[in-house]
Structures are given as structure tokens and as C-alpha cells.
Structure 1
């Protein structure tokens, strides 16, 4: 039996934060990072909470949140025992918060009946509407999947994206592109996920570069945020593929942002996924392109516009180190939960050739 799961409830628009005024009561635990505090974005949340709210802020989330951060946050969460949990930030704070709730329930710590609200401040991960969380342990990324990690409420407010640096807009925007694309060509894609993935790609096609060039412009900013959310719902129901599996291991090994790793990989993965050629042709047509090759060229040109490297060698990653890590990376890629749903099943030899192409830029 197949299913399409829709959760959470989504509040969106310029006044969406007002949801907090009348729907949050009691003790509130906010999971975020120090930049959100420094930029006073946390204040935009706390000032809307009822006057009698008791608030505790856990701001120790780091990029690529680690198991240590999750463990520390979980301890504070349990001791505080809040009525409401709010995750505020990019994918890292939301994923970390999900990890706290996931491991709390796994350890049978009483964490039920807490309202879980996710408020993204970037347009990229779609984590506010997915049951996935990626946590780093050492030099490995662990992808978790459990419906209990889905937030109850997602609040999409475009105000948070007005001051994003261009590099973050580029990285998170290409993360959205990868989510939508992999959801569309997944082995278990369906008409529901197709509709959302395709609309996400159309919105990105019209708005991502505009948003990159001028983050103050409201319409592109809102539309990229919608694209991110739509892609999140899509891949939450159809999963992803080896673009993400490889990005997880490369990102962890060489400390790359997840979105940039995804973007570098995209053309190479499309080339090797021959079983999805018909689906790529459909996407090309929807974007007024002539076929799969023109679709690959379109992505390459988009990456140039967004200042994203073509290969790993352009990031000055040492080749000897990269080569030595290939057996370990290969093992992690094959074990990643996203690999199962990729259109093509690759042999070890094909993976090694692919990794070398990605390093040297031999598309």
C-alpha cells in the first residue's frame, strides 16, 4: 500500500509570526544558533509570546549539528520540560531540534504532547515540513527518518530572508533545486510528489537568480521560500537519491555546506542516471529547454551565475586525501537511506569513476 503524507499545518506570509500570539502558551524551549541571537531574530519570536511565557533558549547549534550538540540540547529540553518547542534557523537548528525529539522518544523519555513549531530562516532545506534530520558524528553524516520528527506547525515568514548573504542564497537555493529534482526522478515518485516537485522547479527557474541578485525584493524571496517548502513535502514522500547520498559523505569529510555539495554534484548525477532520461526530458520541456543535455547545460550555467564551483578540485581539496577516503565514502554512500530510491543502481566501479569525475570536473 502506498501513501502521501501531509503534515504540518503551514502558516505563511508577512504576518505569519502572529500565529505565536494566540497559539503558544506556557513554557517555551527555543532551539537555534548564536547568529540568530546576535542578529536579534530570536527577539522577533519572543516579543510575540504571551507575557507570562517562561522561555529558555538553547543557542548552541552549529552548522552540520553534531550528536554532542543534540545530546546537550536534549538534556536541557528534558530538564526544562516545555509545553512548546520552537526550532528557529536554517536546516541545522531545525534538524538538531528534530534529533533531540527523536532520541528523546527513542530513549523513552516523556516528550509527548509538546507543540513543535519550525520557523525556517533560509529557503533551502525544507526541514520544516519533512520527517528527515541529518546529524553529524565525527566525519560521518547520519540521515534519520521518522514521522514523529515532523513539526506540528511550520511558519514561513519571508522577512527572515531579507538579509541573507549571497553565498547562503546560492547554496540553499541549489539545495532546493536538488530536492525537487531528486523527488521528481525518484523510483517511488507519484503524481502528488510530481506536482509539487515540478512547481518548485518552475518557481526556482523564475525566481532564484532574482532573489540572489536582490534579497530585498519581496516577490522572488517569497517564491523561493514556497519552492523550498514544496520540494520538502515532495521529497518527504518520495525520498531523494545518490546526489544527496554523495553530498552527505563529501560534506562531512571536507566540511562543505550541504547545498554547495549538492550543487557541484548535480550535472554528474543527471548524466549517470540514464534510467530517468524520460523524466529529465519532461523537466527540460517544462523549463522551455530542448532535452536532457540542454537541462544539464542550464544547471551548469545557473551554477556559474550563482558563483558555485564546477568540481571539488576547485575547492582546493587535496587529491591524495580524497583518493584515500574513497573506500570509506563508497561504504557510506551505499548505506545512506537516500541511495535506495535513485533511478540507477551503480556498481562500485561506477561509483569510483563518478567520484573521480566530480573531483576533476570531467563531465
Structure 2
């Protein structure tokens, strides 16, 4: 069956677009209990962006430190319960930050209207009711969270997204000025998430003309930003990277990710490694699965003087590696795409353990 996915309802793009957020939200402030929730990356607390948030009396502003860990089911459940008890049902929720913040906003929007723990809804089309109005404002580009139909959460048993058409943002605000201050290493790691999305989308059985069109253009933009003459952190490249992230997210939505993301989920679930960095750690050793993609990735590493650690696996016990491999193995949709529907005949737990030992 062909995918029939829902896209973002509205998108505004351009420098200074963040200034339009207040007017955009005003159209929905009469909904539910008439207040907005803003979830904002802790990085911006006390910085100019924080003073530009269009907050009104009664609104809730939460600065969240996503450096400590990626979003968890426990975190989303607690946020939902606390706001409902103290404030009521929000008119909407706005995520201002990177992929983790946007996933928090997407997941919370769904859990405000769906009963029980978010652990009940980790998977495809398990959500019962549409969520509240939700807006994504990326301040770092690469994850594709601004366009994807998944809100990835780490639970007590698994790391898996709340995935359905209601997860997709109602509105995104793409302002290239907001990503200008991203530290160089994270500018690289998050941008490589976009690049890896496209490499994996292209190399698998679910690749098609539709997904290819987005991946092709996204990869071209990534090469301009990270590889070609004029590459680097410039205002023009910020615009290119923001669009590349969106297109990379659309490509994987209509195709799928593969081996690298399966390994990344294992690293994140067991070791708490942040997603984009985990992707880079894994992708650097997957030359036999993605030869051209990894070759170009290594050129980008060299060009931007990014050094990834080697020999990490020497510090991991066999128990730790086995746990990571078990997480990765239990992502059949990724292995189906990358290896084929007969992937279980070719990929075993030991195969995946050996891949982790490369790190």
C-alpha cells in the first residue's frame, strides 16, 4: 500500500519570520482554555531570543535542557499532567529549539488529548485523538523534526516515536537568522543528520521518484554547505541548510532510514548519546553499506576539521553491546528498507554487535 501522509499545514520561511509568530498564534488563542505553552531550549534562557517570545499573561514558558537526555515518555507524561492540573487545556504548544524540543512539542500536543502514558502510543497510528494546535520553530537544522510525522521518545522499554498524521506540525516558522549562532560542531553533526537521512533514503527498497526528488535536492544543498567552494557557516548557507533539513525530512517520510539510524537508536537508548552525534559515530564506519555517502562524509569531516573519537567499543562491555544490538535489531522497518524483506536471513544480533564493535 502506498503511503498517504499529511504534510505541514502552513510554512513561513525567511529572515525575520520569527517576528510573525505572535500574529500566527493570535488566530488560535481562543481555543480550549485560551493560553499557549512555549517549550524552549535552555540554551536561549537569558538570551535575546527569549525576550522575543510572544508570551501573553496566562501563557506557560518552559526552558528545557535537552543536553542531559533526549525526550522521554516520563518527561512528556509529567509535563502533560502538571499543565492540565494547574492551567487547563492549552490552546496550543510551540516548540522553539532543535529536534528534541520539537519532538517534545509534537508529543505533548498529542498527549494533552490522549489518556494514559505515552508509552501506550509508541508506534505507528496508535494515537486515538488529534492533538492540540502545535507549532515548530527550529533553531538548529538537520533533524527534519520540523516536517516529520514522528515524535521520538525514549521509554522504559524502547526508543520509538509517536507516529501518525496528527503528529505533523500545524505550522512551522523557518527563520534562518535563528540558526546563525549554532556552535560549529553541532552545526556539523545536525547537518550531517540531514545528509545521512538522504543517503539512507536513497539506498533501500522503499526509495522512489518522489522521495528521490527531495533527497537529490537536499544532498545538493548539503554539499554546498559542507563540501563545495564557499562552504561553511554563512548567512546564505544557513538558508540552504534550513531548506535541506526540510527536504531531507520529506524524503525519509516517503522512503525510510536504514542501518545508521538503527545503530544510532541503540546508542541513544542505552548510552544516552544524542541522536545527530550518534549518527555521525555510526555512519563513519558504514562504508560497506553506503560507500559513496561515507566517502563524502569523510571529506566533509576533513574540510571542517571535525574529529570523531575512535575505539569507543573497547570501553563497552559485551552486555552493553548486546543491549544496544537488541534495540537496533528491533527496528524492522529500517532493516527492511536497507537490506530487503529477507533481512532476517542476512542480519543477526551478532552481525549488529560486530557493527557496534567497529566504533
> What residue number does 1:330 align with?
325
1:180 CA drift (Å): 1.4
C-alpha contact (below 8 Å) 2:106/2:134 kept by paired residues: no
C-alpha contact (below 8 Å) 2:225/2:232 kept by paired residues: no
C-alpha contact (below 8 Å) 2:301/2:307 kept by paired residues: yes
Structure 1 residue 60 and structure 2 residue 67: aligned?
A: no
Secondary structure of 1:97's counterpart equals helix
Q: TM-score, normalised by structure 2?
A: 0.82
- How many residue pairs are counted as aligned between the two chains? 331
Task: Give the unaligned 5+ runs of structure 2.
Answer: 30-34, 118-127
> What residue number does 1:86 align with?
94
C-alpha contact (below 8 Å) 1:132/1:236 kept by paired residues: no
> What residue number does 2:281 align with?
264
Change in 2 beyond 3 A, CA 1:300/1:146 = same
Secondary structure of 1:58's counterpart equals strand
> What residue number does 1:96 align with?
104
Give runs of aligned pairs for residues 276-291 of structure 1, distance below 5 A. Answer: none
1:333 CA drift (Å): 0.7
Correspondence for 1:74 among 64, 80, 83:
80
> What residue number does 1:304 align with?
302
1:3 CA drift (Å): 3.1
Secondary structure of 2:53's counterpart equals helix
1:82 CA drift (Å): 1.6
> What residue number does 2:187 align with?
169
Give runs of aligned pairs for residues 1-363 of structure 1, distance below 5 A. Answer: 1-8=1-8, 9-25=10-26, 26=29, 27-46=35-54, 54-63=58-67, 64-79=70-85, 80=87, 81-107=89-115, 112=130, 114-137=132-155, 141-208=159-226, 215=233, 217-272=234-289, 292=291, 295-309=293-307, 312-313=310-311, 317=312, 319-336=314-331, 337-344=333-340, 345=343, 346-348=346-348, 349-357=350-358, 359=359
- Once residues 297 and 244 of structure 2 are traced to their aligned partners in structure 1, the CA distance between those partners, rounded to angstroms, is 17
- Once residues 229 and 181 of structure 2 are traced to their aligned partners in structure 1, the CA distance between those partners, rounded to angstroms, is 11
Deviating more after overlay: 74-83 vs 103-112: 103-112
- Once residues 74 and 198 of structure 1 are traced to their aligned partners in structure 2, the CA distance between those partners, rounded to angstroms, is 39
1:325 CA drift (Å): 1.6
1:161 CA drift (Å): 1.0
Secondary structure of 2:188's counterpart equals helix
- Once residues 131 and 161 of structure 2 are traced to their aligned partners in structure 1, the CA distance between those partners, rounded to angstroms, is 25
- Once residues 139 and 198 of structure 2 are traced to their aligned partners in structure 1, the CA distance between those partners, rounded to angstroms, is 19
1:138 CA drift (Å): 5.6
1:235 CA drift (Å): 1.0
Change in 2 beyond 3 A, CA 1:188/1:77 = farther
Q: Output one character per residue of 1:119-146: Cα deviation in whole Å (capped at 9) or x when no partner.
A: 0100111101111122223695333322
- Once residues 23 and 47 of structure 2 are traced to their aligned partners in structure 1, the CA distance between those partners, rounded to angstroms, is 25
Q: Output one character per residue of 1:182-221: Cα deviation in whole Å (capped at 9) or x when no partner.
A: 1222322221111001110000001135899753x21111
Query: Larger % of helix: which?
Result: 1
- Once residues 355 and 318 of structure 1 are traced to their aligned partners in structure 2, the CA distance between those partners, rounded to angstroms, is 7
- Once residues 137 and 85 of structure 1 are traced to their aligned partners in structure 2, the CA distance between those partners, rounded to angstroms, is 22
Change in 2 beyond 3 A, CA 1:234/1:322 = farther
Please tell me the root mean square deviation across aligned C-alpha atoms, in Å: 2.8
C-alpha contact (below 8 Å) 2:148/2:249 kept by paired residues: yes
Change in 2 beyond 3 A, CA 1:323/1:19 = same
C-alpha contact (below 8 Å) 2:37/2:90 kept by paired residues: yes
